[in-house]
């Protein structure tokens, strides 16, 4: 501290220079002390008027990061899942596949209903329905003219409906008008739309013990998984699916953090469409989660403003197209957030950009059969169309 003060005063203070400078080395120790104290005062003032505001500004910028980093102190990890091993090979018979999972086989498959709330994910919906259509009896899709955040939204599905002719005969499509309540928590509109979807599923004719897939459009179960579940007896009544996480449209990234998709054996009057944890059972490696897998930067901006986590857009520059493009290519987080983990070890391990993966081995079939169309979703292609 003393050395620092001395050095500081020498450099910055003309009056001190007279006392402390080389010319006055022999001056009284009393005045040296005064000089050092003066230097210290300057440092303290500097700290007060520059350091403190900078510190407060830093908290303003990174407050969310600080609370996320401290998550292990204020939140304990959720109860671990009971992970069910998942077996599949194209040349193993269904009877043997069911047996490997400890289940019997049925004489006929169950009917399968795939129900989604649609926003603007046209490409991903095409990949999803192509993946599932050999196994699904009825597709149920609901869209609204309101985003979860209460902004007017075009009916994107209606505009693109001709792309989905291949499911038309098995499609129950519904539109629900938005409520457009100003300043409301987006989760209220979201749950309002989920209740409407619940009604649409019944209109579509679901019956006891039919399978119902509850997931967002971008949470795509593997076709073979759904085939297994419709053919096997004695499967759990509710089952979460562990999804490979193709996080924020970067290159294919294998992760198992995503589990919100679930499959239910429908019980009239009991089963409700929901998107939270509903059971402890989790079937390993059952599909893909491709969040923010968009072709155009404008679609990223739309979703960032439209979905329930709009509070994560803390600064308007987060929506700047050049920043979004840069973030995608760096493999960083669109909202500049820390990983949601429950131990310091895991937070630190998962900080920083997502390492790119060069594997495109287990991608959805429709994607690999149409690589020219979906080039932007393949490894090594981080550039998105502007506008």
Ligand X SMILES: *[C@@H]1O[C@H](CO)[C@@H](O)[C@H](O)[C@H]1NC(C)=O
Is 78 among the residues that bind ligand X (CB under 6 A)?
A: no
Beta carbon nearer to ligand X, 77 or 102: 77
Spatial separation of the C-alpha atoms in residues 19 and 23, rounded to whole Å: 8
Site residues for ligand X, window 241-260 (CB under 6 A)?
Answer: 242, 256, 259
Residue carrying the six token digits 């490997």: 100
Q: How many CB atoms lie within 10 A of CB 344?
A: 13
Element (H, E) at 117: strand 112-118
In the complex, minimum distance from the CB of residue 242 to ligand X, in angstroms, rounded to a whole number: 6
Q: Which of 261, 257, 286 is nearest to 273 (CA)?
A: 261
Residue 279 binding ligand X, by CB under 6 A: no
Query: x/- string (CB under 6 A) for ligand X, residues 204-243?
Result: --------------------------------------x-
User: Contacting ligand X (CB under 6 A), which of 29, 76, 91, 93?
Assistant: 91
Taking the complex as a whole, how short is the minimal distance between the CB of residue 126 and ligand X, in angstroms? 25
Is 156 a binding residue for ligand X by CB under 6 A? The answer is: no
If one asks whether residue 24 binds ligand X (CB under 6 A), the answer comes out as: no
Q: What is the DSSP letter of 48?
A: I
Choose among 127, 91, 99: nearest CA to 231. 99
Q: What is d(CA 133, CA 131) in angstroms, rounded to the nearest whole number?
A: 6
The reply to whether 76 sits near ligand X by the rule CB under 6 A is no
The β-bridge relationship of strands 262-265 and 238-241 is antiparallel
Cβ(211)–Cβ(264) under 8 Å? yes
Least separation in angstroms between residue 257's CB and ligand X is: 6
Q: Are strands 82-84 and 281-283 parallel, antiparallel or unpaired?
A: parallel
Rule CB under 6 A: say whether 84 interacts with ligand X. Answer: no
Residue 321 in the binding site for ligand X (CB under 6 A): no
The verdict on 152 binding ligand X (CB under 6 A) reads yes
CB 140: neighbour CB atoms within 10 A? Answer: 26
Instruction: Answer yes or no whether residue 83 interacts with ligand X by CB under 6 A.
Output: yes
Which residue is closest to ligand X by CB?
177
Does 175 bind ligand X (CB under 6 A)? Our answer is yes
Residues making contact with ligand X (CB under 6 A): 81, 83, 91, 145, 152, 175, 177-178, 242, 256, 259, 282
């Amino acid at each position: 501290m003393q050395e620092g003060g001395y050095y500081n005063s020498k450099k910055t203070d003309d009056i001190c220079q007279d006392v402390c400078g080389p010319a006055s080395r022999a001056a009284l120790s009393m005045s040296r002390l005064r000089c050092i104290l003066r230097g210290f005062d300057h440092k303290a003032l500097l700290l007060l008027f520059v350091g403190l505001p900078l510190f407060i500004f830093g908290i303003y910028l990174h407050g969310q990061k600080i609370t996320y980093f401290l998550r292990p102190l204020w939140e304990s990890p959720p109860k671990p899942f009971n992970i069910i091993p998942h077996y599949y090979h194209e040349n193993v018979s269904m009877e043997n596949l069911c047996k490997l999972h400890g289940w019997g086989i049925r004489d006929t498959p169950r009917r399968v209903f795939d129900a989604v709330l649609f926003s603007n994910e046209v490409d991903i919906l095409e990949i999803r329905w192509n993946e599932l259509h050999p196994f699904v009896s009825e597709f149920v899709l609901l869209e609204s003219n309101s985003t979860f955040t209460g902004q007017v939204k075009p009916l994107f599905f209606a505009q693109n409906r001709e792309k989905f002719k291949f499911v038309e005969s098995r499609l129950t499509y519904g539109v629900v008008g938005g409520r457009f309540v100003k300043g409301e928590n987006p989760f209220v509109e979201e749950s309002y739309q989920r209740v409407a979807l619940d009604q649409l599923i019944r209109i579509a004719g679901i019956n006891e013990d039919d399978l119902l897939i509850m997931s967002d459009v971008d949470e795509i179960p593997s076709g073979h998984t759904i085939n297994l579940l419709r053919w096997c007896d004695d499967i759990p009544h509710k089952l979460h699916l562990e999804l490979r996480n193709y996080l924020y449209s970067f290159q294919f990234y294998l992760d198992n953090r995503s589990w919100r998709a679930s499959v239910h054996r429908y019980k009239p009057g009991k089963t409700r469409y929901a998107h939270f944890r509903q059971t402890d059972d989790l079937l390993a490696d059952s599909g893909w989660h491709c969040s923010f897998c968009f072709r155009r930067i404008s679609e990223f901006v739309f979703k960032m403003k439209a979905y329930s986590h709009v509070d994560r857009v803390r600064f308007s520059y987060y929506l700047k197209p050049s920043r979004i493009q840069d973030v995608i290519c760096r493999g960083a987080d669109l909202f500049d957030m820390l990983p949601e983990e429950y131990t310091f070890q895991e937070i630190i391990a998962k900080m920083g950009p997502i390492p790119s993966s060069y594997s495109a081995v287990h991608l959805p079939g429709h994607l690999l059969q149409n690589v020219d169309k979906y080039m932007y979703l393949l490894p090594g292609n981080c550039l998105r169309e502007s506008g």
